[in-house]
A and B are shown apart, each in its own frame.
Chain A
Amino acid sequence: MAKVSSVYSPPNSIGKRKLILGLEWWKWLSIGLVLYAIIMGFVGPVPALPILHETIRNLYFHVPMWWGMMVILLVSLIYSIKYLNSGNTKHDIIACESVNVGLLLGMLGLATGSWWAKFTWSFTPLFSLDGWWVNDVRLNGAAITVLIYFAYVVLRNSMDEEQKRAKIAAVYSIFAYVLLIVFLMVLPRLTDSLHPGTGGNPAFGKYDLDSNMRMVFYPAIIGWTLLAVWMMDILVRLRVIRQKILINQFK
């Protein structure tokens, strides 16, 4: 039980956290950046481009979600490796909750991406059932990412014993993440993509993404990533508190 005890020691970070109006500085930064991205995303100037038209505003929402997801999944990978080295339950909780947040962002990214693709890449009527999915490299990569991490959640739920579950889930998560990276690197070589910058399509960076858009796009990425970390932080603290309550019941 020595390993478990590390979770129940008083959380060292909360006392030391410097608060500004009740929140840490990076949380305020996250709120500010996401709000800025949303407001500027809807009212800011965008270049008029064929096919894309006003849907280009989705760039501020869709792409930062993927960024946030990849970052938060990387956090999960790091904490999985840490767990295998330390056996500290808190590392396992962080790895698990990062995946949960990553899955949420992944689902949102899929939804916004599918919505966007419907209006730009497919030529089906607006209310028809088909045309929501185009066979595209990045889309498939995203779908596989979500599938892999749903499998991770199922794997976790199929075991009761905490230590064993944590260890096996960590092993799977490391294995899956490495192969996912391989997949994302290999896939664009196999087929053409509709996405900008691949398969002969021009990249946004070249001329589409003018300086006005960049002023919104980069803050949006940082803001959404911070928001993902914030959500993960809350979930982790909730889990730790729940475990404490559970332990106190049996004292």
Chain B
Amino acid sequence: MLLNEIKGLVKREITLEWRQKYALSGILLYVISTVYLCNLSFDRIIDANTWNALFWVILLFASVSAVSKSFIQEREGRLLYLYSITSPQGLILSKIIYNSVLVILMSLICLIFYSGFIGYLVQNFWLFLTALLLGSFGFSAILTLMSAISSKTRGNQTLMAILSFPIQLPLLLTLIALSKKAIEGEVLANCYDLVVILLGIDLIVVVLSYLLFPYLWRD
């Protein structure tokens, strides 16, 4: 029941995105131009810490701009229509799934361009990829609920950043710690604790969204 609903809603999101391709290409362009800007202003980065921090900060900002539209773009009438045919849980889960696919794709593209323009320092690629996947999922899950909150207010784009940055910090700092280990070439077995923390944060965020979104929804 819920699964079918989620499937339908995700399909709807993809169709909507495909119809207005400017959003997708806009995100791509955003990532590429930011990375290029960093390339021009930083020259080449050899220091692993700076490389790492810059990568995650770029990704953080890019994911904010990618996810922020997810609730804001919905018009009043369309929301009313969705309200009558779906459950709030289905809607929030489908949005989280769709946004995380979007952000994961974006982060992979970002990694490719970032390595190309600024340099590639990672020694354990698979560990870095784990951090990237878990992190992108966490970012998009947090931002989806924040987008739902900020869509209810007046100055929504600025508010989205104010609300989500301090909340994203536990995720961001864990990610930076884990990917630093990946850059140093640590094996997965030595950093299980960080991976478990990341999984835990992702799970907490999804559960909280699932529980809290119905209250936002009923207006």
Which of these binds chain A: B49-57, B79-87, B154-162? B154-162
Q: Do B208 and A190 touch across chains, with their CB atoms under 8 A apart?
A: no
Interface string of B168-188 (1 = CB under 8 A from A): 011001100100000000000
Bound complex: CA A183 to CA B204 (Å):
12
- Chain B residues closer than 8 Å to A154, beta-carbon distance: 159, 162
Shortest distance in angstroms between A81's beta carbon and chain B's nearest beta carbon? 10
Q: Do B170 and A167 touch across chains, with their CB atoms under 8 A apart?
A: no
- Whether a CB of chain A sits under 8 angstroms from the CB of B77 is no
For B162, give the chain A residue with the smallest CB separation. Answer: A151
Q: Do A174 and B212 touch across chains, with their CB atoms under 8 A apart?
A: yes
- Whether a CB of chain A sits under 8 angstroms from the CB of B105 is no
Shortest distance in angstroms between A92's beta carbon and chain B's nearest beta carbon? 13
For A190, give the chain B residue with the smallest CB separation. Answer: B177
For A172, give the chain B residue with the smallest CB separation. Answer: B149
Known: A154-B159, A159-B154. A179 touches B149 (CB 8 A): no
Bound complex: CA A178 to CA B200 (Å):
12
**What band does the interface of chain B fall in when counting residues whose beta carbon is under 8 Å from A?**
20 to 34
Per a CB cutoff under 8 Å, which of B152, B193, B197, B205 touches A164? B152
Per a CB cutoff under 8 Å, which of A84, A158, A182 touches B159? A158
Interface string of A169-211 (1 = CB under 8 A from B): 0111011101100110011011000000000000000000000
Q: Do A167 and B215 touch across chains, with their CB atoms under 8 A apart?
A: yes
**Number of inter-chain CB pairs below 8 Å:** 73
Q: Do A179 and B167 touch across chains, with their CB atoms under 8 A apart?
A: yes
In the complex, chain B residues 112-155 whose Cβ is within 8 Å of any chain A Cβ: 142, 145, 149, 152-155
Bound complex: CA A158 to CA B152 (Å):
9
Q: Which one of B162, B169, B174, B201 has the highest number of Cβ atoms from chain A below 10 Å of its Cβ?
A: B169
Main secondary structure of the interface of A (DSSP, over half): helix
- Whether a CB of chain B sits under 8 angstroms from the CB of A52 is no
**What band does the interface of chain A fall in when counting residues whose beta carbon is under 8 Å from B?**
20 to 34
Q: Do A158 and B219 touch across chains, with their CB atoms under 8 A apart?
A: no
Q: Do B215 and A155 touch across chains, with their CB atoms under 8 A apart?
A: no
Bound complex: CA A198 to CA B142 (Å):
29
In the complex, chain A residues 125-164 whose Cβ is within 8 Å of any chain B Cβ: 144, 147-148, 151, 154-155, 158-159, 164
Per a CB cutoff under 8 Å, which of A148, A159, A189 touches B167? A148
Q: Do A168 and B173 touch across chains, with their CB atoms under 8 A apart?
A: no
Q: Do B204 and A182 touch across chains, with their CB atoms under 8 A apart?
A: yes
Q: Do B153 and A155 touch across chains, with their CB atoms under 8 A apart?
A: yes
Q: Do A175 and B208 touch across chains, with their CB atoms under 8 A apart?
A: yes
Bound complex: CA A168 to CA B213 (Å):
10
Known: A168-B149, A178-B204, A187-B170. A158 touches B212 (CB 8 A): no
Per a CB cutoff under 8 Å, which of A170, A172, A182 touches B170? A182
Q: Do A174 and B208 touch across chains, with their CB atoms under 8 A apart?
A: yes
Q: Do B166 and A151 touch across chains, with their CB atoms under 8 A apart?
A: yes
- Chain A residues closer than 8 Å to B14, beta-carbon distance: none
- Chain B residues closer than 8 Å to A147, beta-carbon distance: 165-166
Q: Do B153 and A84 touch across chains, with their CB atoms under 8 A apart?
A: no
Shortest distance in angstroms between B207's beta carbon and chain A's nearest beta carbon? 9
Q: Do B173 and A190 touch across chains, with their CB atoms under 8 A apart?
A: yes
- Whether a CB of chain A sits under 8 angstroms from the CB of B23 is no
- Chain A residues closer than 8 Å to B165, beta-carbon distance: 147
Q: Do B166 and A178 touch across chains, with their CB atoms under 8 A apart?
A: no
Q: Which one of B162, B163, B166, B219 has the highest number of Cβ atoms from chain A below 10 Å of its Cβ?
A: B166
Q: Do A151 and B208 touch across chains, with their CB atoms under 8 A apart?
A: no
- Chain A residues closer than 8 Å to B159, beta-carbon distance: 154-155, 158
Residues of chain B touching chain A, judged by Cβ–Cβ distance below 8 Å, are 142, 145, 149, 152-155, 159, 162-163, 165-167, 169-170, 173-174, 177, 193, 197, 200-201, 204-205, 208, 212, 215-216, 219
Chain A to chain B: the 4 pairs with minimum beta-carbon distance, closest first: A183-B170, A147-B166, A158-B153, A148-B166
Supply 5 A–B pairs (Cβ within 8 Å), ascending by A: A151-B162, A154-B162, A164-B152, A172-B149, A189-B193
Known: A168-B149, A187-B173. 8 other contacts (CB 8 A): A151-B166, A155-B153, A158-B154, A170-B215, A175-B208, A178-B204, A179-B142, A190-B174
